[in-house]
Structure 1
Amino acid sequence: MRHIYRCPLRWADMDAYGHINNVVFLRYLEEARIDFLFRPDKDFQQGSVVARHEIDYKQQLVHRHTPVDIELWVTQIRAASFTISYEVKDPDQVYVRASTVIVPFDFEAQRPRRITAEERAFLEEYTESTEDDEDSSEAVAA
């Protein structure tokens, strides 16, 4: 299953050419991630931090007054981290593909923590493999 966030495009997100600035996509991913993780019914109460981002820009997104969809899903769950993958897209085109490694964090103790059973169960609802995962598992099998 995928989580879908309808991301509004703001006037200030544009660069001088009328395109959405590449740096702004990090904020869009953050908005989608917060919408996914910090919902009233499902919440990473103890907090988390970003360990890594990877962004692949596919096509320029031109500023407009309608939102763009950000689909996100979980591609890997480990003991103390998980990976979220994203597509920033319209029905007929993908503008960005990205991934973020998230580390659950205990802010009181100032250290990473393990994923709880409740968090793992929630993340597993949104887990999908990607083509890259399948390619790497085939390479290992060969």
Structure 2
Amino acid sequence: MSAALRIEPRWTDLDPVGHVNNSVFLVYAEEARARFLHTALPTSWGPIVVVHNEIDYHHPVVQTDEVEVSSAVEAIGTSSFTTINIIATATHKCATVRTVQVVLREDRSRTRPWSADERTALEALLAAGSKIPR
């Protein structure tokens, strides 16, 4: 698990009710996930693409909240992996975002299996993330 990314919502993140818009949760998760993966897989970062996102909303976020977004690897497949992002304030778990990503071949035509080094790095992240409460 990487250090959590801290975000202060901007007024442009808000919906008419004053809550952070549901689509912005994906932006928060993407920013945290990108930093997390760029650090963990620096040579494989470019060919990794998102193929699925899933969000469970638990509690609203308002502009005065400071948000923390944590990232972990939840599962590893042959050419894919799933990350989990927990978006929370100091007092509430606000959303859980699961993202499935795949690694592409050099020509970007289709997926490829993880290299031994990539798999080792992902397995280390998976082991570290297993200690994080969901």
TM-score scaled by length of structure 2: 0.84
Secondary structure in 1 matching 2:22: coil
Show the counterpart of 2:30. 30
Residue 69 of structure 2: aligned partner: 70
SS at match of 1:111: coil
Tell me by how many angstroms 1:109 deviates.
4.0
The Cα shift of 1:25 comes to: 0.8
Report the equivalent of 2:122. 123
Distance 1:126 1:81 in 2: 14
The alpha carbon displacement at 1:54 in A equals: 0.8
Q: CA 1:70 to 1:123, structure 2 compared with 1: closer, same or farther past 3 Å?
A: same
**Alpha-carbon distance, 1:30 to partner:** 0.8
**Paired letter, 2:124:** E
Deviations 1:8-62 (A, max 9, x none): 32221111111100011111111111111113x7412441111111100001101
Q: How does 1:78-93 map to 2 (within 5 A)?
A: 78-93=77-92
- Higher deviation after alignment, 102-111 or 78-87: 102-111
Runs ≥4 residues deviating over 4 A: none
* Contact kept in structure 2, 1:46 and 1:107, CA below 8 Å: no
C-alpha distance in structure 2 between counterparts of 1:57 and 1:45, whole Å: 28
Aligned residue pairs total 127
- Cα offset for 1:125? 2.2
* Residues 113 and 55 of structure 1: CA distance in aligned 2, closer, same or farther (over 3 Å): same
Structure 2 SS opposite 1:16: coil
Distance in 2 between residues matched to 1:52 and 1:23, nearest whole Å: 14
The 1:38/1:109 distance shift into structure 2, 3 A limit, reads: same
CA distance 1:75–1:45, shift in 2 (3 Å): closer
Asked whether the equivalents of residues 8 and 63 of structure 2 are also in contact (C-alpha less than 8 Å), the reply is no
**How many Å apart are 1:91 and its aligned residue?**
3.4
**Whole-angstrom distance in 1 between the partners of 2:48 and 2:23:** 22
CA RMSD of aligned residues (A): 2.0
Equivalent position of 1:55 in the other structure:
55
Percent identical: 34
Greater Cα radius of gyration, structure 1 or 2? 1
